[in-house]
């Protein structure tokens, strides 16, 4: 009889996972399963599916090499029930365990499944805390009670104090909590980003690529060019490469975008963090060490650490605090369907084509491409939150609902009415022009504000402000913007509205 059956999910590929720490190899069994439900509950990018399944198979081999018995169910197993609950029930019959061990999941829907397992299986199910995060769910709840989660900045400062990261004698290193103002530079002319480390698929990964190509050929995204790390060792190599080659300049240019440059100086480690091949603490510690050793400036390291210790931890806390009601919010009453260009249809908007093309090629786009181009357009166009949220969940290799939903629902779409961010991240074409070279050869004219030849972001921006003045007009952080809008004549506003409707609804430009 097996004493413990330890169920490890596909985003829990961490050697010291809380459930694995309870394991006694001589008598216990690890269960890992590839199930159809998890590949198709949304139509995931093929590279995302291949990455997760290959990483799972490599992790199972790693566990076996450490003397652990692994019961692994493959996607094409003819007896596969293709659900977590179904495969767990089959494994219980095979192994007759005394109890189930599992680490808490990242997504609400899986948490709900787990709540039924003890009754359905007539076995104790120990759901253990996921201690790979700095801030546990219970700790975040305490901070909510202490009113320290109203804004990410307050939460981030608390995390800095609790962890000691980038702190000196109880004060923030460099005398400031963040250096965001130093991290908004556009790329200088002639800038050549470093060559980025990518990984050649081994035999296991190649097998997964062939399986995914055969089973998911109707999903959006390319498999060609797959180069993600799929093992712990590869992920560590990718992290070392980023810290040495990219981190020193990351801070200055983290918001920049450039035609034909899909990666620039960004970490490219979020898929590994969110699947468990890397942990938040080791990533932040290595970045902080680079600053202490004089290998990277403080503004770069702080900006990078803030994305993990600040935003990543904060959105997880928001997710588990606000679900399940959170997903239903639609503060701005946005209802428009997601445009076909998000699925690869041709568009004359060069910025959108560039960012969606990057997404299609790599299941990746960096945070400004997501927030200020594809996200900004969805916000200004009034796309229904659930549609754009599903798109982000489908197309990115690092997307799991706990991290995707608050970022898109709250930060991108302001659908939560300001719980996550105090104002919408709305911008006209001027911002994109300042931070990229996308506008240089675009079919649309950035200088024109309305009309058929104008950059759509220009009139969509002002139309968004007009349509939502009732809800946003008194927002203190938008006072200057609305002051500018109110100085426009009624004729100017009418032309803005006509241009927006003609573009979005296919109406006449006459």
Quick one: pLDDT at residue 182? 78
Q: Where in the chain is the domain with CATH 1.10.579.10?
A: 340-505
- Residues in a beta bridge with 31: 7, 71
Q: What is the CATH number of domain 137-322?
A: 1.25.40.80
Alpha helices in 244-312 (DSSP H): 247-253, 270-275, 280-292, 298-305
Three-class secondary structure assignment of 34-93: CCHHHHHCCCCCHHHHHHHHHHHHHHHHHHHHCCCEEEEECCCCCCCCCCHHHHHHHHHH
Rounded CA-CA distance 457/377 in Å is 7
DSSP state of 332: T
Confidence (pLDDT) at 147: 87
- CA 109 to chain centroid, in Å, comes to 18
Name the pTM for this structure: 0.95
Would you put residue 344 in left (φ > 0), alpha (ψ -120 to 50) or beta?
left
CATH 1.25.40.80 range(s) for the chain read 137-322
| Architecture of the domain delimited by 4-128 | 3-Layer(aba) Sandwich (3.40)
Question: In this structure, what are the phi and psi dihedrals at residue 133, rounded to the nearest 5 degrees?
Answer: -100, 150
- Which residue ranges does the chain devote to CATH 3.40.50.620? 4-128
CATH architecture of 340-505: Orthogonal Bundle (1.10)
Stretches where the chain sits below pLDDT 70 are 1-2, 507-510
Q: Which two tokens stand for residue 444?
A: 């649309």
Q: Per DSSP, what are the bridge partners of residue 33? A: 73
- Bridge partners for 240 per DSSP: none
From 373, 369, 411, 372, select the one nearest 389 (Cα to Cα): 411
Q: Is 346 helix (H, G, I), strand (E, B) or coil?
A: coil
- The pLDDT of residue 1 is 59
Give the per-residue pLDDT at 510: 64
Residue 324, preceding peptide bond in cis (omega within 30° of 0): yes
Closest CA to 64 of 96, 29, 38: 29
What pLDDT is recorded for position 486? 95
């Amino acid at each position: 009889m097996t004493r413990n059956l330890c169920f490890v999910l596909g985003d829990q590929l961490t050697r010291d996972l809380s459930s694995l720490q309870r394991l006694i190899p001589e008598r216990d069994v690890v269960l890992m399963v590839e199930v159809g439900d998890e590949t198709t509950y949304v139509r995931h990018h093929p590279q995302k599916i291949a990455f997760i399944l290959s990483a799972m198979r490599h992790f199972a081999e790693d566990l076996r090499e450490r003397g652990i018995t692994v019961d692994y169910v493959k996607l094409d197993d003819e007896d596969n029930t293709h659900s977590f609950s179904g495969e767990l029930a089959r494994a219980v019959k095979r192994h007759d365990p005394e109890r189930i061990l599992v680490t808490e999941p990242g997504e609400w829907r899986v948490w709900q499944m787990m709540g039924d397992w003890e009754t359905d299986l007539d076995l104790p199910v120990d759901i253990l805390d996921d201690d790979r995060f700095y801030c546990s769910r219970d700790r975040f709840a305490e901070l909510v009670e202490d009113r320290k989660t109203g804004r990410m900045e307050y939460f981030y400062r608390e995390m800095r104090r609790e962890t000691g990261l980038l702190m000196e004698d109880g004060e923030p290193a460099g005398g400031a909590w963040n250096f965001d103002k130093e991290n908004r530079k556009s790329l200088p002319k002639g800038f050549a980003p470093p060559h980025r480390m990518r990984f050649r698929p081994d035999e296991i990964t190649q097998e997964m690529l062939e399986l995914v190509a055969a089973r998911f050929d109707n999903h959006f995204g390319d498999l060609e060019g797959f180069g993600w790390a799929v093992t712990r060792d590869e992920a560590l190599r990718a992290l070392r490469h980023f810290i040495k080659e990219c981190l020193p300049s990351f801070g200055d240019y983290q918001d920049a975008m450039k035609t034909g440059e899909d990666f620039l100086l960004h970490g490219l480690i979020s898929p590994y963090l969110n699947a468990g091949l890397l942990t938040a603490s080791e990533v932040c510690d290595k970045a902080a060490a680079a600053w202490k050793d004089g290998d990277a400036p403080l503004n770069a390291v702080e900006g990078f650490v803030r994305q993990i210790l600040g935003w990543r931890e904060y959105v997880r806390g928001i997710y588990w605090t606000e679900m399940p009601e959170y997903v239903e919010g639609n503060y701005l009453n946005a209802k428009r369907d997601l445009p076909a260009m998000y699925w690869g249809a041709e568009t004359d908007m060069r910025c959108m084509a560039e960012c969606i093309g990057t997404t299609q090629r790599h299941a990746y786009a960096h945070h400004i491409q997501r927030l200020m181009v594809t996200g900004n357009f969805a916000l200004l166009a009034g796309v229904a939150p659930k549609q754009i949220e599903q798109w982000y969940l489908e197309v990115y290799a690092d997307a799991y609902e706990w991290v995707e939903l608050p970022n898109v629902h709250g930060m991108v779409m302001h659908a939560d009415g300001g719980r996550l961010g105090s104002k919408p991240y709305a911008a006209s074409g001027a911002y994109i022009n300042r931070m990229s070279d996308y506008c240089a050869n675009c079919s649309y004219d950035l200088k024109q504000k309305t009309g058929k030849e104008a950059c759509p972001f220009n009139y969509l921006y002002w139309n968004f402000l007009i349509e939502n003045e009732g809800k946003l007009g008194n927002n203190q952080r938008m006072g200057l913007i609305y002051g500018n809008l109110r100085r426009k004549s009624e004729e100017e506003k009418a032309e803005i509205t006509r241009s927006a409707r003609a573009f979005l609804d296919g109406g006449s430009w006459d």
